Structure 1
Amino acid sequence: MFHARRGAAEYQQVHGTVSVWLPSLEARAAALLGDAAGAAAAVEQAARRREAVEPDDLDELGGLLTFPPQKELYYRVETQVLLGQGATGTATGAAAEQAVAAFSNPDAPYWAFGDEAGARCNLAVVRLHDDELDGTVDALRPVLDLPPAQRNRGIVVSAQRVHRALGHSPARTSHLARELREEITQYAPTTPPATALPR
């Protein structure tokens, strides 16, 4: 949160999409700390910055140096999920569905497998708020099916968030919930083999 705020303060002259990225990062960090007011303020700031975006040289480069509306949506949903808010019948629930839809097309210029996985994990947690266990499994299955080489730390942390939510769900004692929790427990990235030092 400190770094996002510092970046925004030191680069106030930046008006490209990175200016939206910084408060979006701050919102997620505030949510992780349980600061609901700080998270809401950062989300609002991101929305204001979005309205004032003027594409710059970083946006022209594209790729990871841009922050399109779809990523802002994903970050906003994750902020709400981290705060323990949202269910399928709420605005957060609808936004979670939209985020997954946005990141389900690998041909989209902003697509990244990590963002799709994160959006799916967020939707899984949202569905658990309504005890939609089957819907949770549907959202999470493509994440659990990722090859080990793609299971980076961010994706594993997101999957573990679903694991924790399952532990608090009224459905936690069901056979399906126990199976899902066990599968997430085993879910981890592949550690590259240690290379022998030359003698």
Structure 2
Amino acid sequence: MRTAEPKTLLAWLCDRDRLVYRRFDERFTEVGVRLFGNNPNNPTCGESQFRRWTGGKLATMPGPATCQILEAMWPQYKAEQLFGSPAQADPQAPANDLEERVRMTAEEALEGADVTASASISDNTIDELRDQVTATARQYHRRSPVQAYEEGDRLRLAIERQRDRTQVPVQQQQLMILNGQAAALLSVAAFDLGFFPSARSLARTAALFGETTRFTPLQAYADGTLAFIAYHTGNATEAVAKATRALSYGGLGDTAHRRLQAIKARAHAHLGDVASARQAILLSAEDAHGKRDELHDDVAGEFAFTLERLAMSTSTTALLIGDAMQAEANARRALDLIQQRPSEEQSAHVRAGAAADLAHARLLADDVDGAADALQPVWDVPAEHRQTGIVVRTARIGHHLTRPQYHGAQVPTALRERIEDFNRVSPPHRIGPHVGLLAIES
């Protein structure tokens, strides 16, 4: 029997997320507490009200606090969209998104064909999951952090379901590696959203899968992620140790070494160890030795570490050690390299990060107008794509502009206010625990 099409985007989202009234009410209450504290005056939602919201029978818009909670539950939408038609408000609604329907049909058909197996699963199932992990990693730069997290979590659950269905050791090994890769992508997405403790836990999960399966590229990637989470949370000594340990693993390719040396350079810079930071920068830029590994090079995507990403990272490290000339040179190099890529392969995060670093380097030379010009690509980043890296970079620029010499000056004041507005609507500030960002933004 065919169920009726959802009348509102909110109803479609609740169907997608399997939120019956009870679960919706629990999440609504939790988000309200997170936003407004444990206050008896927080908005509530009764079951009859929930039915009106999802049934398209809303008479008047709810109050601002209620709308704020709903927008925090689904940050890619405004409250007006949630109460509107899914076909009008959501381009991914089932009625309009043929690609999504085809993908879901393909997944369901494959799972149905494989359901007859009991002690093992089809190798085709594992191949399909491997393809999905690769596609998710390679498309990560085109997703908002929220979208990347939801996609990664859906993939993780699919892998877990297959792990429960096979007792074959080789298949278990392959699925654990895929599960670890999904956890690693989830860790990056959680970090991009500003959820540092969860990002750390997910990175440790990925590291554990890498250790259990003896798949050292995954273990190294996870340890590298733990290292940059550590220096972003004020534990630079731990970051150096994590990156150093990761570099000791065998079976790593040139890309993995490049990434880990760049992370190590940043950690040394946070410690104020300029000599070690410069040495790590040199090692990160060494000519390739022709070594590859199955994760950083073959899966690639978010697991890779492109030359423009290296240049951006080196620029940030140079800023931390006070080398404005090297920072500007590497920021320019990052922008030049990314421009050479096909448009679908260009990372908005890398472009915005490099542009912010270029602006910061010009500010260190007291070139305020040049900094304002360099920031133009930053303002183009949509609100839902403003992840932790760009929030931190722009916030540091804003902090620099609070210096006494800029007080009362028109351009610095306007830039600082625009940065505040830019970051205020970013996911780390809207839905993440932005209090945790304050320590690294200052």
Name the TM tier (shorter chain).
0.7 to 0.9
2:414 matches 1:175: no
1:137 aligns with 2:376: no
* Deviations, residues 29-85 of structure 1 (Å, cap 9, x unaligned): 22122221221121122233x432423333122212222222222211111012222
**What are the equivalent positions in structure 2 for 1:17-28 lying under 5 Å apart?**
17-28=255-266
C-alpha separation in 2, matches of 1:156 and 1:108: 23
Q: Which whole-Å CA distance do the structure 2 matches of 1:112 and 1:145 have between them?
A: 13
Distance 1:109 1:8 in 2: 31
Q: Give the match for residue 56 of structure 1.
A: 293
* Matches of 1:94 and 1:16, distance apart in 2: 23
> 2:422 aligns to what SS in structure 1?
coil
Counterpart check, 1:8 vs 2:243: no
Q: Would you say 1:96 and 2:345 are equivalent positions? A: no
Please report how far the alpha carbon of residue 109 of structure 1 lies from its aligned counterpart in structure 2 after TM superposition: 7.1
Q: In 1, Cα distance between the equivalents of 2:385 and 2:403?
A: 28
In 1, Cα distance between equivalents of 2:328 and 2:338: 16
- 2:305 corresponding residue in structure 1: 67
1:112-137 alpha-carbon deviations (Å, 9 max, x no partner): 21111111110001111222212111
TM-score (norm 1): 0.82
Checking the alignment, whether the CA contact within 8 Å between 2:315 and 2:326 is kept in structure 1 is no
- Report the more deviating stretch, 18-27 or 68-77: 68-77
Task: State how far apart, in whole Å, the 1-side matches of 2:421 and 2:344 are.
Answer: 32
Q: Which amino acid aligns with 2:346?
A: W
Distance (whole Å) between structure 2 residues aligned to residue 172 and residue 106 of structure 1: 41
Q: Which residue identity does 2:246 align to in structure 1? A: G
The within-5 A match list for 1:154-193 is 154-168=389-403, 170-188=405-423, 189-190=426-427, 191-192=430-431
- Indicate if the aligned counterparts of 1:68 and 1:110 stay in contact, CA closer than 8 A: no
In 2, Cα distance between the equivalents of 1:24 and 1:138? 27
| Secondary structure in structure 2 of the residue aligned to 1:101 | helix
Q: Matched residues, percent identical? A: 29
Q: What secondary structure is seen at the aligned counterpart in 2 of 1:74? A: helix
Shift in CA distance, 15/145, structure 1 to aligned 2, threshold 3 Å = closer
Residue 148 of structure 1, aligned match among 374, 379, 383: 383
Q: Distance in 1 between matches of 2:285 and 2:290?
A: 10
Gaps of 5+ in 2: 1-238, 432-442
**Aligned equivalents of 2:404 and 2:256: distance in 1?**
37
TM value normalised by structure 2:
0.39
Q: Partner of 2:375: helix, strand, or coil?
A: helix
Equivalent residue number for residue 31 of structure 2: none
In 2: Cα distance, 1:36 partner to 1:75 partner: 15
Return the index of the structure with the highest Cα Rg.
2
Note if contact 1:120-1:139 (Cα within 8 Å) is conserved in structure 2. Answer: yes
After superposition, the Cα gap between the structure-2 partners of 1:141 and 1:109, relative to the gap in structure 1 and judged at 3 Å, is: closer
In 1, the alpha carbon distance for the partners of 2:332 and 2:420 equals 25
Q: Larger relative CO (CA 8 A, sep 6+): 1 or 2?
A: 1
Counterparts of 2:275 and 2:250, CA distance in 1: 22
Instruction: Specify the SS of the correspondent of 2:292.
Output: coil
Specify the alignment match of 2:146 in structure 1: none
Residue pair 2:315, 2:327 contacting (<8 A) in 1 also: yes
Aligned residues: 188
Structure-1 residue corresponding to 2:285: 47
Query: Quick check: 2:359–2:372 contact (8 Å CA) kept in 1?
Result: yes
Q: What residue in structure 1 maps to residue 86 of structure 2?
A: none
Q: In structure 2, do the counterparts of structure 1 residues 131 and 152 end up closer, same or farther at CA, with 3 Å as the change threshold?
A: same
- Conserved? CA contact 1:131–1:171, under 8 Å: no
| Deviation of the 1:110 alpha carbon | 5.5
**Comparing 30-39 with 105-114, which one deviates more in the overlay?**
105-114
Matched to 2:353, the amino acid is: G
